Chain A
Amino acid sequence: MMSQDPGDLLLEAYGLERYFGNRVALAGLDLTLARGEVLGLLGLNGAGKTTTLQMLCGVLAPSGGSIRVAGVDLLDAPRAAKQHLGYLPEVPPLQPDAQVGDYLRWAAQLRRVPRQARAAAVGRAIERCALTDVAGRVIRNLSKGYQQRVGIAQAIVHDPALIVLDEPTVGLDPRQVQGIRALIRNLRQGHGVIFSSHILAEVQAVSDRVTILHEGRELYSGAAVGEDDGELRYRARFASPPAPDVVSAMDGVRSAQAAPAGGILLELSDEAALDRLVAASAARGWQLRELGKERRTLEQVFLDLTQAAGEETA
């Protein structure tokens, strides 16, 4: 992860709030993003991801809070701030009657890319999004995957400091998803990327940090990969499993319980207990088939947090 040099913060949003009538869509969210970082915004449908991104891009006015993009206040100087923004909304803002190249030239012009730099900027965006083959085709006739890529191309054509992508891989086939992930990793150099998704694997695959939203509130903000918290948690699967009580009675096993996904979850007090477990399995015919360290994955973090939040409100 990049160091958080305050001078290079591309996005500083504090205390973001948004109400739709009486309904709270977002309550007090803080987000920061440095150059070279990818931030994943994760949440169930309706968690407030799109609302957040719309506010960051000046499409929706926040009910409260402050937003600075590349050091410029978005609410005080929207025009200057939006110059540093590239935004792919949930539905790509395409002009269906236009050709791809023509549309991207317009996107560059709209963001005030100087005339002499425009052709190069469009060429670069086309290349980065692998649109070379369809540059002369009318957008309406393109497949969903290509249209999505044209949408991303319009967001990056002016080389903005901050790139905001709302569910960039939705509706794409697995190969296209791979392509978009590679593109996001590639874009990280020299930019800050913030994107939303409700797919955990996706966020885990490309982002440095993740913020989990649930019902308009931030539930978690931290590293995107599951962390090794130093505890000795293992999962063992046997062909003829013993009762968990038998295992937990063993020396060095703090607890043992049936895991929801199958097998037995073990908490050990020292690693030597593993050897005793393997020996016991061989001696007593439990037929050990699988033994692995349990890490807290983002998925668990996510499910734990959303369930806990659900129980609280219930």
Chain B
Amino acid sequence: MMILKLAGRELRLLFRSPLPWILLAVSQAVTAWWFLSLVEQFQAVYQPMLVRTNSPMGVTDLVLMPFFGSVVVLGMLLLAAALLAMRLIADERRSGAIVMLFAAPLTITELVLGKYLAALGFLMVLMATWCVMPAALLIGTELDLGRLAAAALALTLLALAFASVALFASTLTLQPGVAVVLTAGIVLALLGLDAAVDSDDPLTRYVALLPHYESLVQGRVASEDIVYFVLLTVGFLGFTIQRLDGLRLRAG
């Protein structure tokens, strides 16, 4: 499978540069700090309160959900996607290395999917570190594993969408910096749509990304939300293929 070979090659090259390592290190430090502060808050504030009121809520509600639903996790994922956008296609078009792929016996679709899987692969590694952290709580307490799985699914779907946006943004420009800005712009527009525009409008509510994500993180796995993320991903991949095909028609 040429797509998988291309993805493997991309990932290997990516990990030969310092960028992913630094990103992984920074992400681990920032999210761990956020996670530990949530655990501490739970121990110091919530736990005595829960015992007093005999509440059914637990670690899952008060540590896991705020962790996965937080700006810190979303922000790190967006940062990673935006930095990937710098490399994926923009950098190769700038250096001319992409010509090797254009002149190879490879369709544009294979090229795009290969690059996409590589981007997704990296985001998965990043997310795995975030999922392992809460799972470590299993040593000391009980967790709702179903809801942890739902949160992991939500993150995965978010990564699918972010990676496709990043790939598309990467085809729009030769300037790596512009690709970063475009990725951040598109993702933030999608995230904040319901807050910025009239949120009573059903279309706006559907297009906005955050409600779908939050609903999944809360443990409500609805096919409607999954379909939303799949549509978003397929849409941006389609744009990417169109765009690269167009580039071949216009110029190398």
Instruction: Name A's B-contacting residues (CB within 8 A).
Output: 20, 54, 57-61, 78-80, 82-83, 85, 87, 89-98, 106-107, 109-112, 154
**Which residues in window 89-103 of B have CB below 8 A to A?**
95-103
Hey, which chain B residues are within 8 Å of A87, CB to CB? 99-100, 103
Contact B103 A58 (CB under 8 A): yes
CB neighbours of A58 from chain B (8 A): 102-103
Contact in complex: A82, B96 (CB < 8 Å): no
Are A110 and B252 neighbours in the complex by a CB distance under 8 Å? no
Asked whether A60 and B103 contact (CB < 8 A) given A89-B96, A91-B95, A93-B97, the answer is no
Q: What band does the interface of chain B fall in when counting residues whose beta carbon is under 8 Å from A? A: 20 to 34
B222 within 8 A of A: no
User: Are the CB atoms of A95 and B13 closer together than 8 Å?
Assistant: yes
Q: Name the distance in Å between B192's Cβ and chain A's nearest Cβ.
A: 36
Q: Tell me if B52 counts as interface (CB < 8 A to partner A).
A: no
Q: How far is the CA of A20 from the CA of B250 in the complex (A)?
A: 7
B105's partner among A94, A107, A112 (CB-CB below 8 A) is A112
Do A79 and B9 have beta carbons less than 8 Å apart? no
Report the separation of the CA atoms of residues A224 and B248 in the bound assembly, to the nearest whole angstrom: 33
Specify which chain B residues have a CB less than 8 angstroms from the CB of A98 in the assembled complex.
Answer: 13, 16
Give the shortest distance, in Å, between A31 (CB) and chain B (any CB). 17
In the complex the two chains form, is B16's CB within 8 Å of A20's CB? no
Contacts of A94 in B (CB 8 A): 95, 97
- In addition to A58-B102, A97-B17, A109-B9, 15 A-B residue pairs with Cβ atoms within 8 Å of each other are A54-B252, A57-B102, A58-B103, A59-B99, A60-B251, A82-B105, A89-B99, A94-B95, A95-B97, A97-B13, A97-B16, A98-B16, A110-B2, A110-B104, A111-B104
17 sample A-B contacts, Cβ–Cβ < 8 Å, listed by A number: A20-B251, A54-B252, A58-B103, A59-B103, A60-B248, A61-B248, A82-B103, A82-B105, A82-B106, A85-B103, A90-B96, A94-B95, A95-B13, A96-B95, A97-B17, A110-B6, A110-B106
Contact A93 B100 (CB under 8 A): yes
Assembled-state Cα–Cα distance A54/B249 (Å):
11
User: Contacts of B9 on A, CB cut-off 8 Å?
Assistant: 106, 109
Which residues from A are CB-within-8-Å of B13? 95, 97-98
Interchain CB contact under 8 A, A111 and B99:
no
Within the complex, the shortest CB–CB distance from B129 to chain A, in Å, comes to 23
Cβ of B5 within 8 Å of any chain A Cβ, yes or no, is yes
Q: Which residues of A contact B250 (CB under 8 A)?
A: 20
In the complex, what's the smallest C-beta–C-beta distance from A137 to chain B, in angstroms? 14
Question: What is the chain A residue whose CB lies nearest that of B104?
Answer: A110
Contact partners of B100 in chain A: CB under 8 A? 87, 93, 107, 110, 154
Q: Taking the complex as formed, is B107 at the interface, i.e. its CB lies under 8 A from any CB of chain A?
A: yes
Residues in B whose Cβ lies below 8 Å from that of A82:
103-106
Task: For A80, give its contact among B96, B97, B105 (CB under 8 Å).
Answer: B105
* Partner among B16, B98, B107 whose Cβ is within 8 Å of the Cβ of A93: B98
Residues from chain A with a CB closer than 8 A to the CB of B16 are: 97-98
The residue in chain B whose Cβ has the minimal distance to the Cβ of A99 is B16
Across the interface, name the chain B residue whose C-beta is closest to A63.
Answer: B249
B243 to chain A, nearest CB (A): 14
> Given A95-B13, A97-B17, A98-B16: A110 and B101 within 8 A (CB)?
yes
B217-252 near A? 1/0 per residue, CB < 8 Å: 000000000000000000000000000000011111
Across-interface contacts of A154 in B (CB, < 8 A)? 100
Q: Least Cβ distance of A241 to chain B in Å?
A: 53
Task: Among A61, A79, A80, A93, point to the contact of B106 (Cβ < 8 A).
Answer: A79
Tell me which residues across on chain B come within 8 A of A80, comparing CB atoms: 105
Q: Which listed residue, A20, A59, A112, touches B102 by the CB 8 Å rule?
A: A59
Known contacts A89-B96, A94-B97, A110-B100; decide if A59 and B252 are in contact (CB<8 Å): yes
A112 vs B106: C-alpha distance in the bound complex, in angstroms?
Answer: 10
A79:B248 contact, CB within 8 angstroms: no
Closest chain B CB from A72 CB (angstroms): 11
Most buried by A among B13, B101, B104, B249: B104
Closest to B6 in A: A110
A8 → chain B closest CB, angstroms: 22
Complex Cα distance A95/B87, Å?
12
> Least Cβ distance of A65 to chain B in Å?
14
Given the known inter-chain contacts A20-B251, A60-B252, A98-B13, please indicate yes or no for A111 contacting B105, CB distance below 8 A: yes
- Cα separation A87 to B17 with both chains bound (whole Å): 27
Interface residues of B in 1-44 (CB under 8 A from A): 2, 5-6, 9, 13, 16-17
